[in-house]
Amino acid sequence: MKILVVEDEPGIASFLKQGLEEENFSTDIATDGIKGLALALTGNYDLLLLDWMLPGLSGIEICEQFRSKFKKTPVIFLTAKDTIKETITGLQSGANDYIKKPFHFEELLERIKVQMRSMETEDEICSLGTITLDLNTHQVFKENKEIHLTQKEFALLCYLIKNKGKICERSQIIENVWDIHFDYDTGVIDVYVSAIRKKLNLSAEQDYIQTVRGIGYIAKEI
Amino acid sequence: MKILVVEDEPGIASFLKQGLEEENFSTDIATDGIKGLALALTGNYDLLLLDWMLPGLSGIEICEQFRSKFKKTPVIFLTAKDTIKETITGLQSGANDYIKKPFHFEELLERIKVQMRSMETEDEICSLGTITLDLNTHQVFKENKEIHLTQKEFALLCYLIKNKGKICERSQIIENVWDIHFDYDTGVIDVYVSAIRKKLNLSAEQDYIQTVRGIGYIAKEI
DNA sequence: TAGGGTTCTTAAGCAAAACTTAAGGTGATG
DNA sequence: CATCACCTTAAGTTTTGCTTAAGAACCCTA
């Protein structure tokens, strides 16, 4: 998430930058309208935070010009101009929200999150502790770092997590993950569990995937 | 455009209904929380306008339950609860906007229009690193140099970039770019990815388009 | 409508990654 | 301390993807 803040008052600008970066939004600042618009038009930002009164170009002009190219990227005004007329002008220029100064940072944050929500498409997700699986995109994250698993690894981990808290017998695993419907035992499962543990860096303290001797495996929140 | 207003105070309710219908929004009123939620869940509305304090069910509860079914339909709170804490609670419950009473009808109207806007439209430009796509003119630029892509190449690149950061499965790509709705696998996608990489001069260091073996491809900022 | 160019698709050979098997090591259990 | 289940590694096999080239389909324009 990259945010562009266009704000000429240094105090507010740095306050915003600091607060936003604490929330893990990568934040750039432009201190005048010309620079602001130029940066915005690079298309590198996921959200714009605009002041109205700016040297060079007003926030309104930035918003309008930006909107002619980028219809979807959210824009939020953050301005001292607080009359109804101004609010309406701001919103009509293409902004998604209009916050009046003085504002509470928490509210700003929440309104940014509202915009983020409506940007993202809903994904099916399942998780186990700090491990997250995105079933649509086949992505795996541990502590927000992406980790690549192969298809079979993913399928196996997925099966275990979907049944978290329940012991999964080896025969069930073979049936559901490998689609083999008769008795079968080479050490395939072991090999894959091993690979998953290695890639996810699961140790004895962090054994989200525990082996149940003689039966199978179990995925467990710790 | 159908709007559902959930508001127990008859004066405000009828004022809203009248105002909204003058603007050609077809408007229904629910005067308590239970009826409000039931109506909302029919899925017949394009936007919800919620009061917070309601007999039966609070606006917050309505919003949360509604959101669990309808992820995208915009919800706007219209309430006398005006502290920051309440505002944040309201927004966190899944609302798209939060307007404090007393409010100006024009501002409400404008904020409704904001929601309508973001329901429609698409960006005309999308980008990935130094690559820029202009969806109107079908032009592609890399480092500001124009590069000619064929239609299919453009469509494929566009699809990947619109989903940047997410792995796109081959089947999804075939479905969305080729419009083929059944299982299909020749190597078409590969050929096109290959062509795009070549034209955009993507090397191992600059692989904006990475292959995810066994699954598909992913467009990534580096 | 014939011809030239462009674009789309298929196929084939090569390269690389993933899958499976097997074998030797490790650790638990009786 | 012997056995059995599990873990790990390495090597062979299979699958998947990349690239190139060639034919088919689709424009334009004359």
pLDDT at B179: 86
pLDDT at B120: 83
List of A residues 170-189 with CB within 7 A of strand D:
170, 187
Q: With cut-offs at 50, 70 and 90, classify the pLDDT of residue A137.
A: confident
CA nearest to A90 within chain B:
B110
**At residue A184, does pLDDT exceed 80?**
no
pLDDT at A181: 82
Work out if B214's Cβ lies within 7 angstroms of strand D: yes
pLDDT at A103: 95
- Ramachandran sector of residue B81 (left: φ over 0; alpha: ψ -120 to 50; beta: rest): beta
Q: Cβ B114–A97 below 8 Å, yes or no?
A: yes
Least Cα separation, residue B3 to chain A (angstroms): 19
Give, in Å, how far the C1' of C9 lies from the CA of B11: 66
Alpha-helical segments (H) within A163-217: 170-173, 188-200
Query: Which of the nucleotides in strand D have any atom less than 7 Å away from a protein CB atom?
Result: 5-10, 16-21
Least Cα separation, residue A204 to chain B (angstroms): 30
Q: For chain A, which residues lie within 8 Å of any Cβ of chain B, measuring from their own Cβ?
A: 42-44, 69-74, 84, 87-88, 91-92, 94-97, 104, 106-107, 110-111, 113-114, 117-118, 122-123, 134, 136-139, 148, 150-151
pLDDT at B186: 82
**At residue B222, does pLDDT exceed 90?**
no
Cα separation, B106 vs A76, in Å, equals: 19
**Which of B2-16, B121-135, B190-204 holds the top average pLDDT?**
B2-16
What average pLDDT does range A134-143 have in this prediction?
90
Which nucleotide has the least CA–C1' distance to A151?
Answer: C18
**Largest Cα–Cα distance in chain B?**
66
Structure confidence by residue, pLDDT tens digits, A16-47: 999 999 999 999 999 999 999 999 999 889 99
Q: Please give the interface size between A and B, counted as residue pairs whose CB atoms are below 8 Å apart.
A: 83
Q: Residue A118: its chain B contacts at CB < 8 A?
A: 72, 96, 118
Of A76-85, B46-55, B71-80, B183-192, the poorest mean pLDDT is in B183-192
Q: With cut-offs at 50, 70 and 90, classify the pLDDT of residue B83.
A: very high
Share above pLDDT 70 across residues of chain A, in percent, rounded to a whole number: 100
What average pLDDT does range A197-205 have in this prediction?
84
pLDDT at A215: 92
Share above pLDDT 70 across residues of chain B, in percent, rounded to a whole number: 100
Q: With cut-offs at 50, 70 and 90, classify the pLDDT of residue A63.
A: very high
pLDDT at B207: 84
Closest alpha carbon to A64 in A100, A30, A97, A89:
A89
**At residue A50, does pLDDT exceed 80?**
yes
Q: Which helix (H) or strand (E) holds B191?
A: helix B188-200
pLDDT at B131: 92
pLDDT at A180: 83
**At residue B75, does pLDDT exceed 90?**
yes
List of B residues 168-197 with CB within 7 A of strand D:
170, 187, 190-191, 193-195, 197
pLDDT at B18: 97
**At residue B119, does pLDDT exceed 90?**
no
Cα separation, A123 vs B42, in Å, equals: 24
**At residue A201, does pLDDT exceed 90?**
no
Structure confidence by residue, pLDDT tens digits, A109-131: 999 999 999 887 777 899 999 99
Which position has the token pair 């959210």?
A: A74
Give, in Å, how far the C1' of C18 lies from the CA of A203: 25
Q: Cβ B84–A73 below 8 Å, yes or no?
A: no
Chosen from B82, B103, B114 to mutate, greatest number of chain A CBs within 10 A: B114
Which residues touch B37 (CB under 8 Å, ≥6 apart)?
B57, B61, B62, B65, B66
pLDDT at A202: 85
Least Cα separation, residue B69 to chain A (angstroms): 12
Reported in sequence order, the residue ranges of B60-160 that DSSP labels E, i.e. its strands, are 75-79, 97-100, 125-128, 131-134, 139-142, 145-147
**At residue A205, does pLDDT exceed 80?**
no
Alpha-helical segments (H) within chain A: 10-22, 33-41, 59-69, 84-92, 105-119, 151-162, 170-173, 188-200
Average pLDDT across chain A, whole number: 93
